[in-house]
A and B are shown apart, each in its own frame.
Chain A
């Protein structure tokens, strides 16, 4: 099966061609969304980047670096406020792409909101011009499996996909799909196959297409239209769907809009 990809340089070959506008602190999420809307990039709101201590500083910095380095990302514009705990230059130090397809802006040095939005739009467009993504063939697919519904048996799918050379990471340490997605993002999965808990709705991760498989629970049956696959989907059907999504078909969650990111923290905010 041939798989389409995008050459994203140091980030690797991705299956989506997303520019990421990454707010490095909650205070710049609105500015980021205004920039992203203008240039057709991906962004998301979160509540991190300031007022945190201990291991969380390194944890969240690494998490944001993984987002910026993800293979589905063509280029990243980091948008900070200026006075926050997580400083953009320290984040940039962790990036594979430092000084290349990553740029960094700070609202407090850019004349305020309007100034940051307009310089952000220019900077994002410049990144797109400087780093055009060439279409290529994906040499090896990395599939992430969210097994927050551990009743689901995935051995057959894992065996079949492994045999055809797909790398697989299974995240089963959380009952919460969002936390599993974050683990899979950090592992560099191109696409996620999610088996949500019977009492949880389908969900997804920004940047990474997420295929949701219904459990057949009452909730899942009630919203079956929001699932990509039925509970009785065979291993062949699941593989077929994965290949379709890899080659560009939008998942149900992608069509609604990007999901939330859920980043774990050890300590309360201060």
Chain B
């Protein structure tokens, strides 16, 4: 038990670092109603997506993403908006199985119109928000923290400042018993052998290598060179030259701890140790997959500066360079550019980031939370043109 960490205890033994009421539409046509409820409420949040119940190659991935997101430990309650199809109802059951304790269901077919569920949903959301505010944080063990590592808009300093500083903080958390997750398969391509060498067993090492190889095969199958998108134009402007160079810098986020395992996209993260999750580099598809996997706090390093966040998972932005941090301060929670400026050492900034993670875990709002950045993207593997 840590005397420094206070979190919301869930009845299944998990811990939330936030106490959100999430309004979750299970069909794209209900998203406008979900937004209306959240916007009118006293603090509920909503997400929007473009899934309309299609049962195609991506069905299992989408079901897993939406149910996992609903069940994230940062949710005090999830209000599902549904048209009542068996597949939508199965998502609710799956979320309960993962650990969602408070599930409320508004079936538009039972209430007769979207306007009706907007009215009832608003009352329900407000009453749940009031109830959530009565719950107190309690002392929590370090393994209450499930940290996600993300980088976006990387530049030439990413691998020297913000990413290794995150590595320092991640190592410390893992040592204390927390879980930490590296994602973005695109961005370890070329550095996978270095990560595999740190695997806890040869099998885990082989899995890391195979996850990257599988990813390369899936892109090459399309007959496309992914180097058209990676490194992105912003990365190149920021001074990165190749995908391998970007990867060597991106991998620094994971510090030097051993890798305990490899997770598929949106798999539930075990509650201690360092893991690799197979996610796209696309920032919001990754944020969503992390939320679906039960990650309850994210550190997002950025060279170019990006405002994105998650409706339910606090996302700490760390700048790689002082120029950007000073130019767009309302996006950045911590400037690691001070390392390159020669003002601070890597271990000092790593320590500052560790302290900030703890403060945010205990309730301090991030810039993305203050700005209500609630981006949500479903990750798909298959062609939707022919759907």
A31-B307, A83-B232 as given contacts; A51 in contact with B281, CB under 8 Å: yes
Decide if A262 touches B28 in the complex (CB within 8 Å): yes
Out of A201, A224, A225, A265, which one reaches B384, CB within 8 Å? A265
A253 to B280, CA, bound (A): 34
Task: Give the docked Cα–Cα distance between A55 and B28 (Å).
Answer: 25
Q: Which listed residue, B54, B235, B282, touches A176 by the CB 8 Å rule?
A: B54
Interface flag for A114 (CB, 8 Å) = yes
B112 touches A222 (CB 8 A): yes
Residues B383 and A178 in contact, CB atoms below 8 Å apart: no
Interface of B is mostly: loop
Contacting pair B113 A225 (CB below 8 A): yes
Interface string of B210-241 (1 = CB under 8 A from A): 00000000110011111011101111011000
**By the criterion CB–CB under 8 Å, are A84 and B234 in contact?**
yes
Are B54 and A270 closer than 8 Å at their CB atoms? no
For chain A, which range describes its interface: under 10, 10 to 19, 20 to 34, or 35 or more residues?
35 or more
Q: Which of A78-129 contact B (CB under 8 A)?
A: 81-85, 87, 107-108, 111-115
Question: Whole-angstrom distance from the CB of B287 to the nearest CB of chain A?
Answer: 10
Q: Which of A82, A111, A264, A267 contacts B234 (CB 8 A)?
A: A82
Q: Is A51 within 8 A of B237, CB to CB?
A: no
Give which listed residue, A81, A82, A108, A265, contacts B380 with CB less than 8 A: A265
Q: Give A30 to B35 CA distance when docked, in angstroms.
A: 13
Interface residue stretch chosen among B165-173, B195-203, B326-334: B326-334
Q: How far is the CA of A223 from the CA of B110 in the complex (A)?
A: 8
Partner of B331, one of A113, A201, A260: A113
| B233–A178 CB distance below 8 A | no
Contact A47 B284 (CB under 8 A): yes
Q: Are A256 and B328 in contact (CB under 8 A)?
A: no
| A interface SS class | loop
B31's contact among A31, A260, A269, by CB below 8 Å, is which? A260
B379 touches A269 (CB 8 A): yes
- Within the assembled complex, what's the spacing in Å between the Cα atoms of A81 and B53? 31
Report the minimal beta-carbon distance from B231 to chain A, rounded to whole angstroms. Answer: 10
Contact B32 A259 (CB under 8 A): yes
Q: Are B112 and A223 in contact (CB under 8 A)?
A: yes
Q: Once the chains are docked, how many angstroms separate the CA of A199 from the CA of B54?
A: 11
User: Shortest distance in angstroms between B348's beta carbon and chain A's nearest beta carbon?
Assistant: 26
Listed stretches B3-11, B290-298, B367-375; interface member = B367-375
- B225 / chain A contacts, CB cutoff of 8 Å: 53
- Whether A83 pairs with B27 at a CB distance below 8 angstroms is no
Q: Are B283 and A223 in contact (CB under 8 A)?
A: no
Say yes or no: A108 contacts B304, CB within 8 Å.
Answer: yes
Measured CB to CB, the closest approach of chain B to A265, in angstroms, equals 5
Q: A141 → chain B, closest Cβ, in Å?
A: 25
- 20 extra interface residue pairs, beta carbon distance < 8 Å, beyond A219-B109, A223-B114, A265-B385: A27-B308, A27-B375, A30-B375, A50-B232, A51-B283, A53-B222, A59-B385, A83-B232, A108-B304, A112-B328, A112-B330, A178-B52, A179-B387, A200-B83, A202-B29, A261-B50, A267-B219, A267-B224, A268-B219, A269-B282
Q: List 9 A-B contacts (CB under 8 A).
A: A26-B283, A30-B374, A83-B233, A113-B307, A201-B83, A224-B112, A256-B114, A262-B52, A267-B222
Binding site for B on A (CB under 8 A): 26-31, 45-47, 50-54, 57, 59, 81-85, 87, 107-108, 111-115, 174-179, 199-203, 218-219, 222-226, 253, 256-262, 264-270
